[in-house]
Amino acid sequence: MSEKLPILLQLKDKVVAIVGGGPIALRNIKRFLCVGARVVVYAERCEPEISDLFKQGLIRLHERTLTGEEKVEADILCLATNNRVVHEMLKEANPHIFLIYDAANRFTSSFQFMNFMKERHLLVAWSTQGASPIYAKRLKKDLKENLPIKQYNDHLAFLAKARELIQQIQVAKIKKEQLLLAITDETFLNRADRETLLLKYLLDLTDDVK
């Protein structure tokens, strides 16, 4: 299996075609709806929850199966049936779709879904690269118990505001970079007076310019 690049994708208003109406299809539908994608489902029969999403106007639903030769107009294609032959035919028939996920064959999928947890500013993602999805879920518990997530979020909330303030001041780029580096120091981040100290640094920089 070739190496894959972990990335974050902006999928708002992108069209995602999902072939299949079972539990795997439902899981993928929810994933894409959460990030604002426009989901189109092709399934002769589907889970009641998928029908409910259609009735609510959250997805489009074509109550039929796709033949292997059909062209699909979508940005992403998710194949979630138990018919491997049709999956392979649809992949061959749709070379114009760059991102294709095959639930039945991770080796020929152009992407895989990663496990992740998001806590305010912090997003942590991981994958066993198909070795064991069950073990990947167990890792979530370990990460939550062992990572100081509350502290990370506290630091990141401060750093996000600090970065915005630093970017606004009219000083040399090198000065901004030096300050951005300085405020990520663990000792600085754990100081009770870090906000006050940051303002002092900003005033000193602007005074130097004057």
pLDDT of residue 72: 96
User: Token digits for 88?
Assistant: 């392979």
Share of the chain above pLDDT 90, in %: 79
Round to whole Å and give the CA distance between 27 and 46: 12
Find out whether 94 and 72 touch, Cβ atoms under 8 Å.
Answer: yes
Structure token pair of residue 29: 């539908």
Beta strands in 3-94, from DSSP E residues, in sequence order: 15-19, 38-42, 60-62, 76-79
pLDDT at position 129 is: 83
Task: Count the neighbouring beta carbons within 10 Å of the beta carbon of residue 129.
Answer: 12
For 68, the token pair is: 């292997």
pLDDT reading at 207 higher than 70: no
Which domains are delineated in the chain? 15-113 (3.40.50.720), 149-209 (1.10.8)
Q: Mean of the pLDDT values across residues 99-124?
A: 91
Nearest CA among 132, 210, 208, 200 for reference residue 162: 200
pLDDT value of position 106: 85
List pLDDT tens digits, range 46-98: 999 999 999 999 999 999 989 888 999 999 999 999 999 999 999 999 999 99
Q: In the predicted model, what is the mean pLDDT of the chain?
A: 93
Name beta bridge partners: 125.
116
**pTM of the prediction?**
0.81
Identify the pLDDT of residue 119. 87
Identify the bridge partners of residue 102 per DSSP, sorted by sequence position. Answer: 79
Q: Indicate the pLDDT class of residue 28, thresholds 50, 70 and 90.
A: very high
Q: Give the DSSP letter of residue 25.
A: H
Q: What confidence category does residue 210 fall into, taking pLDDT thresholds of 50, 70 and 90? A: low
